[in-house]
Amino acid sequence: MYTLKSVNADNNYRKREALEFAEKALKASIKKLDNKMIVQSYIFKADLYARYGYHKESFECINKTLTYDYYNENKYSQARIKLIKSINYSKLGLDSLYLKENKEILALLNPNSEVNNEIKILLRAISRIEDYYEKHQNKKVSESYFKMYENIIKRKKPDVFVAEYSNYLGNKGQRLLEKKIYDSALFYFRKDLDFVTKKGETAPYYQMKNLGDYHYTIKDHRKALEHYEKAIKMMENAEDKNSEYSDVYKRVSELYGIIGKKDKEVAYLKKYTSFLDTIAKERKPALENAILEIVKQKEFEHQNTKNKIWIYLALFIFILTGLFLYLKNLHQNKNKLQEEFDFQISEKENMLQEIRIKSKENQEKIKISINDLVEMAKQNDLAFLVNFENTFSEFRKKITDISPEINNSELEILAFTYLGFSSKEIARYTHKSLRTIQNKKYIIRKKLTIEGHIFLNIWVKEVILNS
């Protein structure tokens, strides 16, 4: 009951009311000791927090779901969490993590599933991947994900997949508009508006924006203004500070400049810059808090992995114990058993000695020159980090002694840095954005407590030289 009330409040942009009902739903599920309901309530709250821009609170809810067996056994819940994490990452500007989470959803869920909720999550993930590649100017890959989305949604009933079908109509119209097929683009935009208006579940912000884009493109400035201003009004009523909305303010300012209304041109330009300033001010502390929660989440996952290792180890010991008892019963003669045992120990020692010798020989063979390492880095060779660590054998130990939380991706960036690659070069050779590399370097500095006035490449060289 509380969840339905929260959904209704959310659809009508009543944020505070939506969060209050979500909290009541969570308390009710905890009172009933229903693990499934508790996980679903945490996920619902995490989703609301993510979309409303409360990223720290969203990650706190996500971390709480990880402690329940129901979450770890349910792929749909795992996919929902990944979608929510991607929303947080998108709003925090962590593009590579945003893409990673959505691609992992595709690996979790079956596109031929008969469960509607699973298909809805899958479609949203596909749409976000498509949008990522569109923004990064990779039209070919973006188009392939749109086709994937289109093939799935055409097999579904629009009345069941309301948001997903509306998203398809809007994206189809935008692609046709980009190709200058104006009549068809307008057809899809109007169809989307009629569909959403008929359903009455949400305010048609995106539909008004799309119609504004259409009239702007065909240079019907007054109609473009009419639709953009309707979209802005809906956005401001929703009090939603989504960075993608800022472009609408900018577009409206531009249009008022074209029709000669300088006062409104200036007013909307101020709104545009003010909007961006607000987003920037809110994003920095939100990013820092979110990173702390992400670290907690990784620590929890690491602890879970350690627990599993202990379970497997106990099982292994149990099997060994059973084997030992079996051998003991099989061999009645104590002296014979002792002889066999001594012989086995001797054989194992010999084998270990051979392995040590071969391992030492192999390590000598693996060590390669700096020039070879540079070439491997430029080729983004998967064996690059392994060969780097073999060449600088104390490298990983020295770094992880300072910060055990350092992961392989961050070690790779440190290796690149030691070899003299700039951030731009690292981005180019690892096929990542410059912003992603800069963000990773920032996180590395935090983990390793490197002061801002110290150059990262000098710091890494000192670590390796001291090794």
User: Over pLDDT 90: what percentage of the chain?
Assistant: 43
**Structure tokens that stand for 132 in this block:** 């990522």
Report the alpha-carbon distance of residue 430 to residue 152 in Å, rounded: 32
Going by pLDDT thresholds of 50, 70 and 90, the confidence category of residue 118 is very high
Half-sphere exposure of 337 (CA within 13 A, CB side): 11
pLDDT for the residue 446: 92
Report the alpha-carbon distance of residue 167 to residue 206 in Å, rounded: 9
Q: What is the pLDDT of residues 130-142, one digit of tens each?
A: 999 988 889 999 9
Going by pLDDT thresholds of 50, 70 and 90, the confidence category of residue 363 is very low
SS3 (DSSP) at 113: coil
Is 89 within 8 Å of 291 (Cβ atoms)? no
pLDDT for the residue 327: 74
Which residue is listed with tokens 């086709």? 147
Instruction: Measure CA of the first residue to CA of the last residue in the chain; give whole Å.
Output: 62
Is the model's pLDDT at 367 over the cut of 60?
A: no
Per-position b or e across 191-222, b if 16+ CB within 10 A of its CB: bbbebbeeeeebbbbbbbbbbbbbbbeeeeee
Is the model's pLDDT at 285 over the cut of 60?
A: yes
* Integer Rg of the chain from CA: 29
Backbone angles phi and psi of 433, in degrees to 5: -75, 155
Is the model's pLDDT at 106 over the cut of 60?
A: yes
pLDDT for the residue 320: 77
| Residue 319 CB neighbour total at 10 angstroms | 10
Is the model's pLDDT at 59 over the cut of 80?
A: yes
Task: List C-alpha distances in Å: 215 to 166, 210, 225, 245, 349.
Answer: 20, 9, 9, 18, 81
Of 311 and 53, which is predicted with more confidence?
Answer: 53
**Structure tokens that stand for 315 in this block:** 């099982």
Over residues 73-96, the mean pLDDT reads 89
Q: What is the pLDDT of residues 372-422, one digit of tens each?
A: 999 999 998 988 899 988 988 888 988 999 999 999 999 999 999 999 999
pLDDT for the residue 349: 59
Is the model's pLDDT at 427 over the cut of 60?
A: yes
Over residues 181-197, the mean pLDDT reads 95
Report the alpha-carbon distance of residue 414 to residue 368 in Å, rounded: 18
Is the model's pLDDT at 280 over the cut of 70?
A: no
Is 253 within 8 Å of 241 (Cβ atoms)? no
Of 341 and 402, which is predicted with more confidence?
Answer: 402
Is the model's pLDDT at 18 over the cut of 90?
A: no
Is the model's pLDDT at 362 over the cut of 50?
A: no
The one-letter amino acid code at 147 reads K
Domains in the chain, start-ordered, CATH in brackets?
A: 1-156 (1.25.40.10), 367-466 (1.10.10)
Report the alpha-carbon distance of residue 22 to residue 10 in Å, rounded: 10
Backbone angles phi and psi of 14, in degrees to 5: -100, 85
pLDDT for the residue 51: 84
